[in-house]
Structure 1
Amino acid sequence: MNAHRSITIETPDKLYRTGVKGPQAAQWLADQGIALPDNPNSWLITHDQLKVLRLGHSEYLLESAVQHPLFAQIAEASQPMAAGVYRVPRTDAAFMLGGEGIMSLLSEVCALDLSEQSLAEDGLFMTLLAGIPVIVTRQTISHLPAYRIWCDGTYAAYLREILREIADDFSPLCSEF
């Protein structure tokens, strides 16, 4: 354990989320002018700062710091929204984990290797953290690895507490926002 390796656990400010899935979901989103990741289990950020996660072959999670016009359209649509397109209500909680000691923390709670060699900057994993199903993306912030974690909102307090306890074991420099 290195006492000088910081770990940060942050809860992003209010973010808006929605989702769609189905065999025609990609075409429907493209028809709405939304850029999509080319590959399953990948993500991108559009020109208007909409984060688009492709969960497998035919499901998409959309997230934005502002209420994107498409979100209201999806929320108000009947099921199915179009042939082969279904709304997926999202009640995820989100965390951002980062700092020099983050790989030590993640190795304690996740069986997968989340290093940059295994998880590309535009890739995502659906895995378990401390037994909780999560979606994980990796990015680099200030030359350090950072991870976005989404989980079912009902598990948020538990997962946050577990991450905090383990972070405290690894680093007295753990900060929480």
Structure 2
Amino acid sequence: MADASTRRSPIRRQVEADHTHVLGAADAVLVLHLSDASAERDAARTLGLIDLSVLPKLGIKGPSAEAWLGEQSAPVPTDIYDVTSFDDGSCLVRLGDDEFFIEQHPAGSRVGGLTSLLSSPVSGVYPVWREDATFVLTGASAGEVLAQTCGVDMDQAVLERLIMTRVAGVSCSILPQMLGELSCYRLWLDPSFAASMWETLTEIVVELGGCAVGAGCVYPELSADS
């Protein structure tokens, strides 16, 4: 099971080529800023695109998965496709009656902790390897990007409730959410499509006056420039 020391973004070469401020070491590099931090934060309020693929992820399934997560003090969502947050900011998504998905907050340790607990077999609980690419569209114009690439009307979307759909012809999960004061759409997709999806989204974002920005725009607490 991958952890924060071994995960790599599938588009790391594209994103890291211009980085000025990163968090992490070796292959686990989270790009906090691609250019001037203040300028990026301003851009993100209108339209930004962020790569968070390096964040550790974990799937958990099985007939005892819900009970086991509850024993770990997890805020288990009640309904399928609902999303909750751990106390460290990591998100927990209910994908089915007995299937869950977790993405760790960049300053958190939740996935590593749960992975360690599952290193020995637990009856009725099965860890699932997850390598999803994670992209985030930010700002007031983020919905316009999805209007060009997705058939779902995001004006009707509910915050913190997962949408299973297709974006630019690729199967994708979308989570509408607020990150601080920023309206965002978090996209999860198969990493084999990450490079082409990044190129498609970047092209549209730039056409709409936006740009790629770093993770420090949505996680300012990690940035020394905040």
Q: Deviation per CA, 1:43-85, whole angstroms, max 9, x where unpaired?
A: 01122322101113221111212332112223x244xx422x2
TM alignment of 1:22-61, pairs within 5 A: 22-61=62-101
Q: Which amino acid aligns with 2:190?
A: D
Question: 2-side partners of 1:91 and 1:77: how far apart?
Answer: 21
Q: Which amino acid aligns with 1:152?
A: D
Contact 1:6 1:174 in 2 (8 A): no
Contact 1:138 1:147 in 2 (8 A): yes
Question: 2-side partners of 1:10 and 1:128: how far apart?
Answer: 19
- Which of 48, 52, 59 is equivalent to 1:12? 52
TM alignment of 1:1-177, pairs within 5 A: 6-12=46-52, 14-64=54-104, 65=106, 66-68=108-110, 69-74=113-118, 76-78=119-121, 81-83=122-124, 85-115=125-155, 118-141=156-179, 143-171=181-209, 173-177=210-214
Question: 2-side partners of 1:101 and 1:8: how far apart?
Answer: 9
Contact 2:94 2:100 in 1 (8 A): yes
Q: Which moved more, 1:103-112 or 1:135-144?
A: 135-144
Query: Normalization by structure 2: what TM-score?
Result: 0.67
User: Percent of counterpart pairs with the same letter?
Assistant: 29
Deviation at 1:121, TM superposition (A): 1.5
CA spacing shift, 1:67–1:143, aligned 2, 3 Å: closer
Query: Normalization by structure 1: what TM-score?
Result: 0.83
CA spacing shift, 1:21–1:105, aligned 2, 3 Å: same
CA spacing shift, 1:144–1:88, aligned 2, 3 Å: same
Deviation at 1:38, TM superposition (A): 1.3
Gaps in structure 1 of 5+ consecutive residues: none
Contact 2:52 2:133 in 1 (8 A): no
Deviation at 1:92, TM superposition (A): 0.7
Q: Give the number of equivalent residue pairs.
A: 166
Secondary structure in 2 matching 1:157: helix
Secondary structure in 2 matching 1:165: helix
Question: 2-side partners of 1:14 and 1:138: how far apart?
Answer: 20
Deviation at 1:127, TM superposition (A): 1.1
Question: 1-side partners of 2:67 and 2:58: how far apart?
Answer: 17
Deviation at 1:101, TM superposition (A): 1.4
Gaps in structure 2 of 5+ consecutive residues: 1-44, 215-226
From the two aligned structures, give the one with the greater helix fraction.
2
Q: Which amino acid aligns with 2:212?
A: S
